[in-house]
Amino acid sequence: IGDAITGIFNGGNGSTASSGANPTPSASASASATKGTTDKSTSGTVKDTVGKVTDTVTKTVKDTTATASKAVEDTTKAVKGAADAATSSPSPSASSTTNAADCPVATDAEGGVDNPVTLPDDPWYLNASSLLLKGADYQGIVKVKTANGTVKKVLKYVISDGTDIGDLHQTVNDKQSGKTYHVQAGSGTTSTIRDGKTVMYTESISGNLLGLIPITFSPDNPPPLNIPLIYFTKVKVVQAGQFGGTLTVPGMHQYVTG
């Protein structure tokens, strides 16, 4: 009790002395040791992490660089191959060649030439007392090609119902020999063309239209109308070519002059 009272009056010195007798806990030492351990552990972890990150980044960069290098190398090879292919002379092949005759611009149809078969270089001539074209269809001015390659304009007629020719006299002039070849029907006879359509390529046709009107039709003076029945008297025809039908010539005889 006395000690307690003395402690009160002394402000607790006794207690302080008693406390000083006890050993001071090594908190700082423990903290220092912990700190050292923590620092070492943290430092090791950071080093390991940095090392791993560095290794990963280095490996990634190496892999990326290798991939990019390979891509550049492949691209370079491809460009070089394309350049070699472009500069090298192409080898001819059968499939790559083009026949000019098969080109649309080279064909007669595309070039505006009407006749499927080439015509003689020179026309033939018809002189007759009369000419009757039945079922006639005037198809306009067309171009035709002759054997020597000449292209000329003619009138095109298609006759569907037959042709009657009075006193037929047909001639062909041979310029090389200077001779004229004749095919002539009997006097007063009517020659006929039957059995299908007849295509006429006419350079000119002249005579008395309907037996009354003297007229000449040609590419320079084409017919103004397309009439199905055409009749001429005292007719002369300059014919570039003619196809189709069966010609019958009564009393025919042939001869050569010149």
Per-residue pLDDT at 14: 44
Question: Six-digit token pair at 211?
Answer: 């037996």
Q: Which of 197, 108, 104 is nearest to 146 (CA)?
A: 108
Q: pLDDT tens-digit profile of 139-193?
A: 999 999 999 999 999 999 999 999 999 999 999 999 999 999 999 999 999 999 9
∠214-137-107 over CA atoms, to 5°? Answer: 115
With contact defined as beta carbons under 8 Å apart, do 246 and 194 qualify?
yes
* Cα dihedral value 184, 121, 133, 209, nearest 10: -90
CA distance 234 to 252: 20
Joined together, the tokens standing for residue 81 give 């191959």
Residue 236: the pLDDT is 98
Q: What is the pLDDT of residue 254?
A: 97
- Half-sphere exposure at residue 133, Cβ-oriented, CA atoms within 13 angstroms: 21
Q: How far apart are CA 209 and CA 216, in angstroms?
A: 9
Q: Are 79 and 107 in contact (CB under 8 A)?
A: no
Q: In angstroms, rounded to a whole number, what is the distance separating the alpha carbons of residues 136 and 227? A: 7
Q: What is the pLDDT of residue 17?
A: 39
pTM equals 0.59
Residue 200 contacts residue 254 (beta carbons within 8 Å): no
Predicted pLDDT of residue 107: 45
Closest by Cα among 243, 232, 242, 251 to 169: 251
Q: What is the pLDDT of residue 225?
A: 93
**pLDDT tens per residue, range 36-95:** 444 444 445 545 544 554 454 445 445 544 554 554 465 456 545 544 554 455 555 554
Q: Tokens standing for 192?
A: 């006929």
DSSP H or E segment with residue 48: helix 27-87
Largest CA distance in the chain: 188
- Sequence-ordered list of residues with C-beta below 8 angstroms from that of 94, at least 6 positions apart, any chain: none
